[in-house]
């Protein structure tokens, strides 16, 4: 198995306390902070990790672990997203996160409103949507398992085991991986796991 190095970032101010045990978040669990932090409230409900932002646009919260990439990897998490219908928002997986400030780079696979799942890239040019797919079976409030699997110089991305597409570019096979929430909404995460991508 790949080794996991300690490296985590929670965007915004420190929260009020540390979570003692959230096994459903796997390697992310030991770094979770609970309570209020700016626009976000972090909590545990029925053993699941919840991020809630009642109405502030343009804010992002992410939690990630830095990993070495000696082999192709996979990451998955089950997300129940209740995003805003009026403002840009969503939640899912963050991948290839590296750098800070204006040099920050990452990909985000997000469940959005209206049954839409989109792949975004954040780089020096900003936060831009690369690909988007809409399907009624991805409706808001429905638990969906998102996953990413590295395939050499690209990665495949999935929803409930269905391959939605592939993407290659800067940052693939590098950086950290974890969960992300963007904009207003209530976002529930469980069963975050890292592993080795299956051989083809």
Tens digits of residue pLDDT in 111-145? 999 999 999 999 998 999 999 999 888 887 889 99
Give the single-character DSSP code of 1: -
Is residue 172 scored above 70 in pLDDT? yes
Question: Does 200 map to a domain?
Answer: no
- If one counts the domains in the chain, the total is 1
pLDDT band at 198, cuts 50/70/90?
A: low
Output 46 or 16, whichever has higher pLDDT. 46
Domain ranges, residue 139: 4-195
pLDDT band at 5, cuts 50/70/90?
A: very low
- Residues 66-123: pLDDT tens digits? 876 555 889 999 999 999 999 999 999 999 999 888 889 999 999 999 999 999 999 9
Residue 114 sits in a domain whose CATH number is 2.60.120.560
Q: Where are the beta strands (DSSP E) in the chain?
A: 4-5, 17-18, 33-37, 40-45, 48-53, 60-67, 73-83, 90-98, 105-112, 116-123, 126-134, 144-150, 154-159, 162-168, 176-182, 185-196
pLDDT at 51: 97
Q: In what order do the strands lie in the sheet with 4-5?
A: 4-5, 60-67, 176-182, 90-98, 105-112, 116-123, 126-134
Is residue 4 scored above 50 in pLDDT? no
Question: Does 153 map to a domain?
Answer: yes
pLDDT at 63: 93
pLDDT at 13: 36
pLDDT, the chain, mean: 86
Instruction: Read off the pTM.
Output: 0.87
pLDDT band at 1, cuts 50/70/90?
A: very low
Output 149 or 152, whichever has higher pLDDT. 149
pLDDT at 119: 97
Is residue 180 scored above 90 in pLDDT? yes
Residue 170 and residue 107 in contact, taking contact as beta carbons nearer than 8 Å: no
Distances (CA, A) of 23 to 47, 177, 179, 188, 198: 8, 17, 15, 14, 24
Percentage with pLDDT > 70 across the chain = 86
Structure tokens at 52: 């809630």
Distance CA 97, CA 160 (A): 23
């Amino acid at each position: 198995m790949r080794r996991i190095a300690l490296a985590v970032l929670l965007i915004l101010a420190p929260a009020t306390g540390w979570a003692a045990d959230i096994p459903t978040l796997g390697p992310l669990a030991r770094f979770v902070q609970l309570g209020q932090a700016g626009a976000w409230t972090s909590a545990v409900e029925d053993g699941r990790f919840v991020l809630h932002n009642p109405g502030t646009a343009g804010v992002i919260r992410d939690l990630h672990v830095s990993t070495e990439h000696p082999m192709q990897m996979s990451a998955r998490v089950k997300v129940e997203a209740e995003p805003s219908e009026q403002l840009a928002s969503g939640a899912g997986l963050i991948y290839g996160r590296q750098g800070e400030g204006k040099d920050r780079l990452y990909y985000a696979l997000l469940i959005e409103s209206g049954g839409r799942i989109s792949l975004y890239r954040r780089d020096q040019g900003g936060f831009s949507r690369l690909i988007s797919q809409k399907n009624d079976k991805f409706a808001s409030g429905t638990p969906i398992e998102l996953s990413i699997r590295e395939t050499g110089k690209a990665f495949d991305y999935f929803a409930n085991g269905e391959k939605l597409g592939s993407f290659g570019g800067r940052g693939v096979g590098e950086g950290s991986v974890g969960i992300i929430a963007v904009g207003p909404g209530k976002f529930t995460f469980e069963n975050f796991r890292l592993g080795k991508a299956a051989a083809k």
